């Protein structure tokens, strides 16, 4: 079955897909104007989204580090001192995502780059040294990991001896499709993720790499808002739907019934959730923080994502700002009705005031 045929949805699904793409593209146009301003606030949003993305994507695969633990690790890391496999995986994801966020527009989609990114992702993972950056040599499965430690096989994947040929065909088709623009880029990106996960080309790290590639392709195709809210966090919260969407198509793998409408609607729904989250964050900033200076905007952005917080928490999250300056900024924002203060003395916490 051709890739194009997998996108031949029924009428109802086609209407759902068209509606979602229209809403996402409308937001992209609106966000382009916003992005020209408020650089410091957006930098803070990106920083917070990066931490959420790292934490969520590694937890989906069974890691247990919280977002706060992830943030402390990437701020204070000494590469020779990783204590656990989780820490190794977190820092590899951090380096790979950082590279994508800074260079997405310049990166060409190719098998070689996919392998290179896999090598970066697993750079610090001791157990993966032998196979990082190379396609699998043993059969693997898509397995869901649950918080209680249990696992469930979701589906079987491409056999090792067929992996190279399938990756070559898929990556080349996606690259050409994105270049010629005959198929909407969001459909092409959604299909890429589905095919990548169905092939499962590497021995380990496929789920994490698929989410990195999602961000890369979205940014490359001009969906710049994707760097300011965590796509991975949305997937973590909708993990059951994520696997259900994949299974809906994969159960008919390599037959003429393998149409990926359910997966595509799920993927576009996640992007819509991302746009609504970002719109809410920006609306709150515009309403309450538009007249703050850049540093105060940064403090407000941190509060939005970590509230309620103590001054000691802010000092960790914003190490370049002194305690005294933080106290003054918080006091000013309380006086302006932007924040509310609860508790006394060391137990005092701050929250963004609801309207």
Residue with tokens 């590469």: 79
Annotated binding residue 130: no
Annotated binding residue 207: yes
Q: What are the DSSP calls for 22-69, one per residue?
A: HHHHHHHHHHHHHTTS-HHHHHHHHHHHHHHHHHHHHHHTT----HHH
161 is catalytic: no
Annotated binding residue 156: no
How many angstroms separate the CA atoms of 88 and 204, rounded? 14
Annotated binding residue 205: yes
How many angstroms separate the CA atoms of 316 and 72, rounded? 8
How many angstroms separate the CA atoms of 147 and 59, rounded? 9
Q: Which two tokens stand for residue 78?
A: 């000494």
The distance of Cα 304 from the centroid of its chain, to the nearest Å, equals 19
Active-site pick, 118, 184, 200, 306:
200
Annotated binding residue 355: no
Annotated binding residue 211: yes
Annotated binding residue 280: no
Alpha helices in the chain (DSSP H): 3-6, 11-34, 39-60, 67-76, 85-103, 111-121, 160-180, 185-199, 206-220, 231-237, 239-250, 261-289, 294-306, 311-317, 323-335
How many angstroms separate the CA atoms of 123 and 119, rounded? 6
Annotated binding residue 209: yes
Please give the positions annotated as active site: 200
**What residues form the annotated binding site for ATP?**
204-211
Residue ranges for the known binding site are: 204-211
């Amino acid at each position: 079955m051709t890739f194009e045929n997998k996108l031949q949805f029924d009428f109802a699904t086609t209407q759902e897909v068209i509606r979602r793409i229209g809403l996402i593209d409308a937001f992209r146009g609106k966000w382009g104007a916003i992005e020209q301003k408020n650089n410091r606030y957006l930098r803070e949003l990106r920083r917070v989204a990066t931490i959420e993305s790292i934490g969520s994507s590694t937890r989906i695969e069974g890691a247990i580090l919280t977002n706060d633990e992830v943030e402390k690790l990437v701020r204070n890391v000494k590469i020779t001192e990783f204590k656990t496999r989780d820490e190794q995986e977190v820092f590899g994801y951090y380096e790979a995502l950082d590279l994508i966020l800074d260079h997405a527009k310049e990166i060409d989609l190719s098998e070689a780059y996919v392998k290179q990114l896999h090598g970066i992702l697993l750079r610090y993972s001791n157990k993966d040294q032998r196979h990082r950056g190379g396609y699998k040599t043993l059969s693997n499965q898509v397995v869901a990991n649950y918080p209680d430690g249990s696992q469930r096989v979701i589906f079987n994947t491409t056999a090792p001896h067929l992996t190279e040929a399938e990756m070559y065909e898929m990556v080349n088709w996606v690259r050409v499709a994105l270049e010629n623009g005959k198929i909407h880029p969001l459909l092409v990106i959604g299909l890429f993720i589905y095919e990548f996960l169905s092939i499962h080309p590497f021995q380990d790290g496929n789920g994490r790499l698929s989410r990195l590639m999602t961000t890369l392709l979205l940014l490359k195709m001009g969906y710049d808002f994707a760097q300011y809210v965590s796509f991975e966090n949305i997937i973590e919260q909708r993990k059951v739907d994520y696997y259900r969407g994949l299974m809906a198509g994969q159960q008919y793998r390599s037959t003429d019934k393998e149409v990926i409408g359910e997966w595509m609607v799920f993927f576009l729904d996640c992007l819509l959730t991302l746009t609504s989250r970002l719109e809410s964050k920006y609306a709150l900033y515009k309403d309450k923080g538009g007249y703050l200076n850049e540093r105060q905007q940064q403090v407000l952005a941190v509060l939005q994502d970590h509230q309620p917080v103590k001054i000691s928490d802010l000092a960790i999250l914003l190490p370049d700002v002194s305690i005294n300056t933080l106290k003054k900024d918080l006091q000013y924002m309380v006086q302006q009705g932007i924040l509310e203060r609860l508790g006394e003395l060391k137990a005092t916490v701050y929250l963004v005031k609801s309207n």
